[in-house]
């Protein structure tokens, strides 16, 4: 079917139904398509500027997810060794070695206790308390022993001995080779000067060696009887008083 085209008074030709006023629709569509394509090229995720930005960004070391292979190598600088100290010049954490020739304290399981009467002087009676090293190695004792008396039922008689400076001990350490004894002086008042005020008779002498919480005992008291509430013990020494 043909259409007849008329010209208006200005001599322009009026278009048919597929033409827009003044310009064909096809021209507008082409222009719009070109504009969208340009916008996508410049700003879209696949555009050239985006690729350039990605190429300029710094890259990070590749890592391997846990459980999928060998872990990535660490990128930091490894720590340096510990700074040596005055106590540990080598910077080592190994424990210090003991001093050569160190001697241990005498333990109760390597000591034997005995008591020997040592005479009377100036209204006092003296006894030699001996702690003998029964072990196979030398050991040291230092200070006062703890001394108490027990009755036949194991109950304490009176009070423990108080400390004195009687005897040959000077307060220094005593080194005992196997078979050697340390000596401490036990003193009490003579019975004749106390009007007979004496403690009940004891059955056992109980001793804490210096520095020990364990005890040694003997039932041989050599006639020890505490009178006048006077019961004293001196420090250990290397010889009898």
> For the segment 178-215, what is each residue's pLDDT rounded down to a tens digit?
999 999 999 999 888 888 799 999 999 999 999 999 99
Question: Binning pLDDT at 50, 70 and 90, where does residue 62 land?
Answer: very low
Percentage above 70 pLDDT, the chain:
58
Q: Which of 41-45, 79-83, 112-116 has the highest mean pLDDT?
A: 112-116
In whole angstroms, give the CA distance from residue 32 to residue 64.
47
pLDDT exceeds 70 at position 51 = no
pLDDT exceeds 90 at position 122 = no
Q: What's the rounded mean pLDDT across residues 60-74?
A: 42
For 12-24, letters b (16+ CB in 10 Å) and e give eeeeeeeeeeeee
Query: For the chain, what is the mean pLDDT?
Result: 72
Q: Which residue has the higher pLDDT, 171 or 210?
A: 210
pLDDT exceeds 80 at position 8 = no
pTM of the model: 0.58
Whole-number pLDDT of residue 241: 75
Report the candidate in 111, 126, 119 with the shortest Cα–Cα distance to residue 174: 111
In whole angstroms, give the CA distance from residue 139 to residue 176.
5
Whole-number pLDDT of residue 222: 95
Total residues belonging to the chain: 241
In whole angstroms, give the CA distance from residue 237 to residue 184.
6
Residues 134-145: tens digit of each pLDDT = 999 999 999 999
In whole angstroms, give the CA distance from residue 208 to residue 107.
10
User: Strand pairing partners for 12?
Assistant: none
Q: What angle do CA 207, 213, 218 make, to 5 degrees?
A: 25
Secondary structure string (H, E, C) spanning the chain? CCCCCCECCCCCECCCCCCCCCCCHHHHHHHHHHHHHHHHHHHCCCCHHHHHHHHHCCCCCCCCCCCCCCCCCCCCCCCCCCCCCCCCCCCCCCCCCCCCCCCCECCHHHEEEEEEEEEEECCEEEEEEEEEECCCCCEEECCCCEEEEECCCCCEECCCCEECCCCCCCCCCEEECCCCEEEEEEEEECHHHCCCCECCCCCEEEEECCCCCCCEEECCCCCCCCECCCEEECCCECCCC
Q: What's the rounded mean pLDDT across residues 171-181?
A: 92
Q: What's the rounded mean pLDDT across residues 101-113?
A: 90
Are 114 and 145 within 8 A, CB to CB? no
């Amino acid at each position: 079917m043909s259409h007849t085209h008329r010209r208006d008074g200005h001599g322009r030709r009026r278009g048919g139904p597929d033409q827009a006023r003044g310009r064909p629709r096809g021209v507008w569509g082409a222009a719009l398509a070109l504009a969208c394509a340009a916008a996508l090229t410049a700003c879209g995720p696949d555009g050239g500027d985006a690729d350039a930005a990605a190429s300029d960004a710094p890259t990070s070391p590749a890592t391997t997810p846990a459980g999928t292979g060998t872990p990535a190598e660490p990128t930091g600088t490894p720590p340096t060794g510990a700074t040596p100290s005055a106590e540990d010049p080598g910077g080592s954490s190994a424990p210090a070695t003991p001093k050569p020739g160190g001697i241990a304290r005498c333990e109760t399981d390597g000591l034997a206790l005995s008591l020997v009467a040592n005479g009377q002087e100036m209204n006092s009676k003296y006894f030699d308390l001996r702690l003998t090293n029964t072990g196979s190695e030398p050991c040291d004792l230092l200070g006062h022993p703890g001394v108490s008396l027990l009755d036949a039922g194991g109950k304490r008689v009176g009070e423990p001995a108080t400390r004195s400076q009687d005897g040959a001990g000077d307060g220094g350490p005593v080194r005992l080779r196997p078979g050697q004894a340390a000596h401490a002086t036990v003193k009490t008042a003579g019975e004749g000067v106390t009007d007979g005020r004496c403690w009940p008779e004891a059955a056992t002498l109980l001793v804490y060696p210096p520095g020990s919480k364990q005890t040694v005992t003997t039932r041989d008291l050599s006639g020890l009887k505490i009178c006048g509430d006077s019961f004293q013990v001196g420090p250990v020494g290397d010889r009898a008083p």
